[in-house]
Structure 1
Amino acid sequence: MSIAVIVVDDEPIARHAIVRLLRDDPDIELVGECGDGVSAVQAIRNQSPDLVFLDIQMPAINGMDVVATIGAARMPATVFVTAFEQYAVRAFEANAVDYLVKPFSRDRFAQTLQRAKTRLSAADTGTRGAESIQQVLDALRRREGYLERVPVRVDEKITFVDVDEIVWIKASRNTVEIHLADRVHELRETMTALGERLDPRRFARVHRSVIINVRRVQAIQPWFNGYHVVTMDTGQKLRMSRYQHETFLRLVSMKE
């Protein structure tokens, strides 16, 4: 079988080492090399590879940002390339995700590539691959802490939004709308996944489809049947679910 592969690593030596080893395998068709996250997103979307070797630690847009921009469910089979310490590697192993730790040997690379081939040949590759990628992302995000910037696509570019600029967030199926004071961005991520990456001291889920920036709350008013209306500093009025009592109390205490 022919496997289309893209290699993403900002370190030329590491990237060329992977490319050189891939070229020894007759099953591999190298369709792209990327030295940064922006070009990686574009290449994955344009080339639709079967397999990606993805470096986690890159400046500006890192490997996690690349997956968040593409969407875990839309990512090809992925081999994570990392220099993380052993406890992080154990998280990869527990979630059955392919990985390479730099520096790696030829034998270790061969084992990783074989596992990737086995996964690609399985009938349920798509579902299991997306689940595994999401699991390792969740583990890495817990290690990295809460988001300070969110990568969003503007035309053909990837730009960053500081979380303090976010007024509120709306769920829209498997995407979210990030509302700023003067514009709206769409991000291919679920509300639950994004909510877990936001600092709960700064953001609160007031409805199953709405997350707000608590620092941008201007007023909270009772409505009817136990509901409340939250007015943001932009004038936007958002309904708070009556089941979000703890959120309501926290917001009130912050406004006092």
Structure 2
Amino acid sequence: MLSALVIDDELFAREELSELLEETGKVTVIDTASNAIEGLKKINQLKPDVVFLDIQMPQITGIELLGMLDLDTMPNVVFVTAYDQYAIQAFEDNAFDYLLKPVDTHRLNKTIKRLIKSGQESSVDVSPIAPQTLDQVPCIGHNRIMIIPSTDVECAYTDISGVTILTHDQKATSQLTLKVLEEKTPLVRCHRQYLVNIKAIKEIKLLENGLAEIVTVSDHPVPVSRRYLKTLKEMLGFH
């Protein structure tokens, strides 16, 4: 039995696809999400076998959501879209599976069979269409959802509560991993648990034992480990 997560901003579309999936007798819909930020959180928490992902969603599209996932651990993805010949051509060129709205049960059954047949094989490489950079970082803080421009982030760190994002005036939690943030935003590694925006550095205090501490323009302290200090100094033009 496959576990599935359905992500679509339209309630009727979510309910209809969930019912069709359950009726196959081969899929359990473990949850649904109404937007990409909620979907990202549930992908990380629930780790479904497959995500049925709507492409056209407000604020963050399904394609943008792909760019926020760790390619090494992401589930299989089936795109769900209203007819768009250019998008569909891109899917077919890269062997991606997709469903057209309204979803046809015959096509859905073919998709399920293909997913079951693939078994434990790795999912299709989505890197050809996933964004290589992230212009915005979705966050949750103080009972609200925030979309923070990646250039506004001064630093990010991980602890038991998850990944925390700091700007000059905001502190929020993101579902993005440090690995994805390092690969796709201006943030660079300065410590095993910390990333910093080079342009947000006000000063670097050199400490004993080859350690250092960054102070950002908003006075956020950020530790620097020996492992990353040399690279960081080179980035800043100090050799």
Is 1:209 the equivalent of 2:209?
Answer: no
Quote the RMSD (CA, aligned, Å): 4.5
Structure 2, unpaired ranges of 5+:
none
Letter in 2 for 1:208: R
Q: Aligned residue for 1:229? A: 213
Q: Is the 8 A contact 1:37 1:61 kept in 2?
A: yes
Residue of structure 1 in register with 2:57 after alignment: 58
SS at match of 2:208: coil
Q: Residues 137-156 of structure 1: matches in 2 within 5 Å?
A: 138-141=127-130, 144-154=131-141
What are the Cα deviations for residues 34-67 of structure 1, in whole angstroms up to 9, with x where unaligned? 6644675798899998754211342213235667
More helix as a share of residues: 1
SS of the residue 1:152 aligns to: strand
Q: Is the 8 A contact 2:163 2:177 kept in 1?
A: yes
CA distance in 2, matches of 1:5, 1:204: 34
Select which of 225, 238, 247 maps to 2:232: 247
Letter paired with 1:8: I
Among the aligned pairs, what percent are the same residue? 23
Q: CA deviation at 1:151?
A: 0.9
Q: Conserved in 1, the CA contact under 8 Å of 2:91 and 2:98?
A: no
Aligned pair partner of 1:100 in 89, 98, 101? 98
| Separation in 2, partners of 1:44, 1:171 | 18
- Find the aligned partners of 2:221 and 2:140 in 1 and give their Cα distance: 26
CA distance in 2, matches of 1:43, 1:225: 42
Q: Cα distance, 1:170 vs. partner?
A: 1.0
Deviation at 1:210, TM superposition (A): 1.5
CA distance in 1, matches of 2:45, 2:221: 40
Show the counterpart of 1:164. Answer: 151
Amino acid at match of 2:183: E
1:160-199 maps to which residues of 2 (within 5 A)? 160-172=147-159, 175-199=162-186
CA distance in 2, matches of 1:223, 1:45: 37
Tell me how far apart the structure 2 counterparts of residues 54 and 188 of structure 1 sit (CA, whole Å): 17
Does 2:133 correspond to 1:132? no
Tell me how far apart the structure 2 counterparts of residues 206 and 44 of structure 1 sit (CA, whole Å). Answer: 28
1:79–1:116 CA contact under 8 A, matched in 2? no
2:52 alignment partner AA? F
Equivalent-residue separation in structure 1 for 2:161 and 2:93 (angstroms): 29
Instruction: Tell me, yes or no, if the aligned pair for 1:207 and 1:239 is still in contact at 8 Å.
Output: yes
**Residue pairs, 1:33-72, within 5 angstroms:** 36-37=35-36, 52-63=51-62
Once the 2 structures are TM-superposed, how far is the Cα of residue 163 of structure 1 from its aligned partner? 1.8
Retained in 1: the 8 A contact 2:214–2:223? yes
CA–CA separation in structure 1 for the residues paired with 2:73 and 2:140: 16
For residues 79 and 222 of structure 1, the distance between their equivalents in structure 2, rounded to whole angstroms, comes to: 50
Q: Give, as a single letter, the amino acid of the residue that structure 2 aligns with 1:56.
A: I
- Structure 2 CA distance for partners of 1:185 and 1:72, relative to 1, 3 Å: farther
- Structure 2 CA distance for aligned equivalents of residues 241 and 113 of structure 1: 48
Rounded Cα–Cα distance in structure 2 between residues aligned with 1:107 and 1:49 = 23
Q: For residues 69 and 153 of structure 1, what CA distance do their matches in structure 2 show? A: 15
Residues 112-145 of structure 1, C-alpha deviations (whole Å, 9 max, x = no match): 12223456xx5xx6xx6xx638x53x5543xx24
TM-score by length of 2: 0.67
Residue 109 of structure 1: SS of its match in structure 2? helix
